[in-house]
Structure 1
Amino acid sequence: MPRRPYLAGIAATALALGVLASAPASGDEPIVSHPRVVAHFDFTAGETPENIALEPDGSADLTFAFARQVANVTRHGNVRSRVTLPAVADPNTPLVHNALVLGIARAHDGTLYVTYATGTSETGIWRIKPHGGRPHQIVKLPPNGLPNGLALDEHRGVLYAADSALGIVWRAPVTGGRRTAWATTKALRPVPSGTGFGANGIKVHDGAVWVSNTDRGTLLRIPVRRNGSAGRTSVRATGLDGIDDFAFTSRHGDTVLATVNTANQVVVVRPKGTHSVVLTQQDGLANPTSVAVRDHTVYVPSASYFAPEPDPNLLLARLNRG
């Protein structure tokens, strides 16, 4: 996600985050190979890809944060705009001060849900119908928050949003309506003297909600109890300073690929919490913001927030094992 950007002419604030403190790589061959950049985007137009959801045909739906857009990118790099979120007068989003489209989740019927952070009453979760059309706000979230990552649990019919500024996981029905502060543990909050970004990426996986905390460099697991409430939070990995979003390499295992934005890295995080670097700037990463996995393909959007010569892009690579 954005870290107090960045875009020349759009935002003047700059932020320096810590560099990844990663465990040394093992002697095993990397699980990711054959990286290639398939699409480049226009930084000056705000085409800074922030989050990703995959379509059945293997194309990627990306949120362009500062352009307030959702775009579709094919595996061959063809780009088309799907929808633009409405402009907001005098946006005042915490930490960023711009209106941003951030998280995205896709339902099986093709409905898209996105988080929109504005610092106004427009802040919340918005729905985009499968065939496009005007997006609608279905859940209002606090204007003093920064709703970032978004996850969908279709089995329970709920959405989870990670609020980076307030350090809260919000939960709301997919039909829209009232939000609930589902998880509010200290482990989700930013560090008082840190960047201001706490809970960031979020995924529903194997009976739990997993969340990354950028400031604390941690990966968290919060079990979902039978009644839908949050169980006790456990820390599954540490030392991931600047972690952004993440994805699991398979449905049933707990191995994770995570992006580390300012370090220009993707790391593999093992179930016991050890981690090592699998992709770097030399592979084409430019402040990677999120990651998605489909079968043997890894997708990594980069927003290029801090690069002296910005190159926002979408990188694809091969997943060899999980």
Structure 2
Amino acid sequence: MSFHRPTGLRRRAAALGLAALLAAAPAALAAPAPALAGVLATAPAHPGHGGGTRLGDVRVLVHFDRAAGQVAESIALEPGGGVVIGMIPARQVVRVTRDGAVQVLVTMPLPPGGGGTTPVIGTPVVTGVARSDDGALYFLYSSGQGGLTGIWQVRRSGGPRLVVPLPADTMPNALVIDGKRGRFLVTDSTGGRIWQAPLRGGAASVWSADPALAPSGFFGANGMKIRDGAVWASNSDRGTIVRIPVTRDGGSGRAEVRATGLEGIDDFDFTGRGTEILAAINQSSKLVRVGADGAQETLLDAEDGMQGTTAVAVRGNRVYVTNGANLAGNDPTLMLAKLRRR
């Protein structure tokens, strides 16, 4: 999720910064935002050093409407090169086509009272998005209220449907579909947990509350992926990526720290080269390559257009990156690059 980990006075500034962003959003936020389609800018790949994966042909696919609260947060890949993205304070789920056209699929209503009880953030937000193999789209809504916070589905008719309610004091962040076991997995950034719930809907339960997922003042467990019989999760406060093995009965084993020194990490994805990872570092606006041995290298930074980098998704040789531009710059974007493996 695209909120920096503040310390001391910066924690108050972060809350005020988001409040200012929301105040700047137009009252007609529920109406579809205008699409800013097409490739509008290009940027060179960060040169880097040594071997390993590189990025080339880096370009901005679309600029989002920050004044309308379109702070890009998460990415779900669709067939044909399109993506679905969660927009935090806009409370929206949008689709971006391969050529950069933007369509608002859902705008969630404010809860009664405005949702000021949302944990840490203090305002309702849409966070993680996911797409099932049959094309169903799901997203997370954190409202600070029971009966609204949880996993929602974008119905084909256009309206949202609550599939799995989550407790009001959770901060659901990343959403992953575990198709092998027919369940959702959800990181809870303030609770330091991963929840599970059946794909058909119903009650959620805690899958893991390993101490490695806990926050140390702001956000703990954030991004999440499933790979090779394990769940991998980032911890924003601790700057780590951990691997949690899945037991034979689908339960959670003990977390193992696989990378450190990634303070402010948000989302991440695997490159397809073993356990090599691309990590979105929100706090310092970078995209970092993390090798299987934990070695790190910055591939893209502010000079390449990174502004509050929030999410990354890899499909084949295409790499999608979102920039939320929350407290870092003012241009939230979806960027596209080509993966070059050496």
Q: Same fold (TM over 0.5)?
A: yes
Alpha carbons 2:94, 2:105 under 8 Å: kept: yes
SS of match in other structure, 2:212: helix
What's the counterpart of residue 2 of structure 1? Answer: 2
Counterpart among 95, 103, 107 of residue 80 in structure 1? 103
Alpha carbons 2:263, 2:283 under 8 Å: kept: no
Alpha carbons 1:200, 1:244 under 8 Å: kept: yes
Equivalent positions of 1:1-322 (< 5 A) are 1-3=1-3, 4-5=14-15, 6-7=17-18, 8-10=20-22, 26-28=49-51, 31-90=54-113, 91=115, 92-121=117-146, 122-129=148-155, 131-191=156-216, 194=217, 196-250=218-272, 253-307=274-328, 309-321=329-341
User: Which residue type is aligned with residue 218 of structure 1?
Assistant: T
CA distance in 2 between counterparts of 1:66 and 1:132 reads 23
Alpha carbons 1:285, 1:315 under 8 Å: kept: no
Please state how far the C-alpha of 1:30 moved relative to its aligned partner.
5.1
Alpha carbons 1:31, 1:278 under 8 Å: kept: yes
Please state how far the C-alpha of 1:208 moved relative to its aligned partner.
0.8
User: Which residue type is aligned with residue 331 of structure 2?
Assistant: D
Count of aligned residue pairs for this structure pair: 304
SS of match in other structure, 2:195: strand
CA distance in 1 between counterparts of 2:152 and 2:56 reads 36
User: Structure 1 11/153 Cα, relative in aligned 2: closer, same or farther at 3 Å?
Assistant: farther
Please state how far the C-alpha of 1:132 moved relative to its aligned partner.
4.5
Please state how far the C-alpha of 1:283 moved relative to its aligned partner.
1.2
CA distance in 1 between counterparts of 2:203 and 2:52 reads 48
Please state how far the C-alpha of 1:28 moved relative to its aligned partner.
2.5
SS of match in other structure, 1:33: strand
Unpaired runs of at least 5, structure 1: 13-24
Alpha carbons 2:105, 2:154 under 8 Å: kept: no
Please state how far the C-alpha of 1:277 moved relative to its aligned partner.
0.4
CA distance in 2 between counterparts of 1:125 and 1:218 reads 26
User: Structure 1 120/306 Cα, relative in aligned 2: closer, same or farther at 3 Å?
Assistant: same
What's the counterpart of residue 16 of structure 1? Answer: none
- Deviation sequence 1:124-178 (CA, Å, 0-9, x none): 111123x352111111112111000111111110111000000000011111111
Higher helix fraction: Structure 1 or Structure 2?
2
Alpha carbons 2:94, 2:104 under 8 Å: kept: yes
Please state how far the C-alpha of 1:76 moved relative to its aligned partner.
2.0
Alpha carbons 2:245, 2:253 under 8 Å: kept: yes
- Deviation sequence 1:249-296 (CA, Å, 0-9, x none): 12x721111100121100011111111100111111111100001111
Alpha carbons 2:21, 2:69 under 8 Å: kept: no
CA distance in 2 between counterparts of 1:190 and 1:111 reads 31
CA distance in 2 between counterparts of 1:57 and 1:221 reads 31
User: Which residue type is aligned with residue 204 of structure 1?
Assistant: I
SS of match in other structure, 1:155: helix
CA distance in 2 between counterparts of 1:262 and 1:295 reads 27
Please state how far the C-alpha of 1:9 moved relative to its aligned partner.
4.7
